[in-house]
Amino acid sequence: METGEAFYGTAGHRQLKPMAPRINVTELARDVALGIIEGRQDDLRIRWKGHDHVTVIATKVLPETEYKATQNGRRKKLWEVLEEILEPQGWKRDKGGVFVRRSE
């Protein structure tokens, strides 16, 4: 104000809806990875197709949210953590939530 000039503009953004609750995707991914490594057939988050082909159902792992960007970010993090854990165990991500055990 010392110069006698005024500024008009937006500063930041107005949050219209509350943020989605935070979740620990890493812990969820570790639990799913353990189910794959142990071969759990009763885990509803995992769909087995033979002993070396598995599909992780992200909608059963991650809670639903109305925020698309949040859901996409959580799904991306889930796949990254699963790959990180399962790769040394002989599993490779094929596409989406599909993981295939490499043959020896």
Q: Which residue has the higher pLDDT, 32 or 7?
A: 32
Check if the beta carbon of residue 65 is closer than 8 Å to that of residue 71.
yes
* Structure confidence at residue 58 (pLDDT): 95
Distances (CA, A) of 85 to 12, 45, 52, 89: 38, 17, 16, 7
Q: Where are the domains of the chain?
A: 25-101
d(CA 86, CA 34): 9
Residue with tokens 């490499």: 102
Instruction: Give me the mean pLDDT over the 58-67 stretch.
Output: 92
Q: How confident is the model at residue 102 (pLDDT cuts 50, 70, 90)?
A: confident
d(CA 102, CA 87): 9
* Structure confidence at residue 56 (pLDDT): 97
pTM score, whole prediction: 0.81
Lowest mean pLDDT among 12-16, 28-32, 72-76, 77-81: 12-16
Q: How confident is the model at residue 104 (pLDDT cuts 50, 70, 90)?
A: low
Check if the beta carbon of residue 46 is closer than 8 Å to that of residue 55.
yes
